[in-house]
Amino acid sequence: MTLNIRDYGWNDTFAAAKESFQHEGFVPARVLVEQKNAYRLASESGELHGELSGKLRFEALSRIDLPAVGDWVLVDARPEEGKATIHAVLPRSSFFSRKSAGTVPEQQIIASNIDTVFLVSALNRDFNLRRMERYLVMAYESGANPVFVLTKADLSEDAADKKRQVEEIAFGVPVHVVSAFEQSGIEELAPYLGAGKTVVLLGSSGAGKSTLTNVLLGAEVQVVSHVREDDDRGRHTTTHRELFPLPSGALLIDTPGMRELQLWEASESNDHGFPDIEALARTCRFNDCSHQSEPGCAVQAAIEGGELDEARFASYQKLLRELAFMERKGNKVLEKAARDKWKKVTQQHKKTKY
């Protein structure tokens, strides 16, 4: 069985990148599934089971250097065996990442070469604007275009109001309300699902990603589980990331639900997720305003005047604290500077106390 790799998103940009590697005899393939360094690939020879070459594994400095779902890789294909050896990862046009689990911060690629990120949230009791703000920051960081998809509209009596709330934090990002059960609103997603385009679904467990995947595929491919009755939260149904070709010609990547997000180096993206707060901060009297009790603080004035939601500001501060902590954790110089700072603060506190 042969495949046309352009149906999987191959284009002239990737073709030019391939030429720069000058690997004779290696052919391109796209990663459909990755599970513990075992891969399922789409190539011109059909689907193949891939494994890393010893050189690629040895030269990888971190997980970011290894293939992820959505990556284009160069392989030594053995179609008669249904196998391939992966020798290189082509440069990514975009990628979505988070901090991996563990005590040492390491960037984990969730999906790559994405055109659009569907930020999926259910319109039930698990509806959470603060979580959606964090998803939005991650989407901007990926380099792909974010789109909010509010699911389970059939279970909500105030879908229009919740859509308005999301639009208030989205600042120009498209927001669509859909119901997979009633098959309503699905047509609004068509403009993002053109031939060769790649879309990734991001959302917490129970948001309806697997159900939406099945609707877009037109087949029951992903297992769907029921949410808990007490809080409408779901269990992890999708256990791994996988790329699916859609009937429209687009490619869809479903991901396991992620409730507690560990962001990775999103400091440059903060103004995307919270442009209103950043704009206010630039008008504070002092450049180093902490937005707590300083005179002339535009942020606090906006909160007191009802122009800025205090919970949104708290979410923004939590994000900054997490990023600062990760930066200190991964940088020994900054970590020592932070400890020295708090040591001086403690010493000063003791002097004033006694």
Q: 293 labelled as ligand-binding?
A: no
Q: 13 labelled as ligand-binding?
A: no
Q: 291 labelled as ligand-binding?
A: yes
Q: 353 labelled as ligand-binding?
A: no
Q: 103 labelled as ligand-binding?
A: no
DSSP 66: S
Q: 210 labelled as ligand-binding?
A: yes
Q: Which residues are CB-neighbours of 36 under 8 A, at least 6 positions away?
A: none
> Is residue 117 within 8 Å of 180, Cβ to Cβ?
no
Q: 239 labelled as ligand-binding?
A: no
Q: 139 labelled as ligand-binding?
A: no
Q: 209 labelled as ligand-binding?
A: yes
DSSP 289: -
Q: 154 labelled as ligand-binding?
A: yes
Q: 203 labelled as ligand-binding?
A: yes
The helix (run of H) or strand (run of E) holding residue 132 is helix 129-142
Q: What is the 3-state secondary structure (H, E, C) of 93-126?
A: CCEEEEECCCCCCCEEEEEECCCEEEEEEECCCC
Q: 337 labelled as ligand-binding?
A: no
Backbone angles phi, psi at 233, to 5 degrees: -85, 150
Q: 211 labelled as ligand-binding?
A: yes
The string of DSSP codes covering 158-191 is -HHHHHHHHHHHHSS--EEE-BTTTTBSGGGGGG
Q: 152 labelled as ligand-binding?
A: yes
Q: 237 labelled as ligand-binding?
A: no
Binding residues for GTP: 151-154, 203-211
Binding residues for Zn(2+): 284, 289, 291, 297
Binding residues: 151-154, 203-211, 284, 289, 291, 297
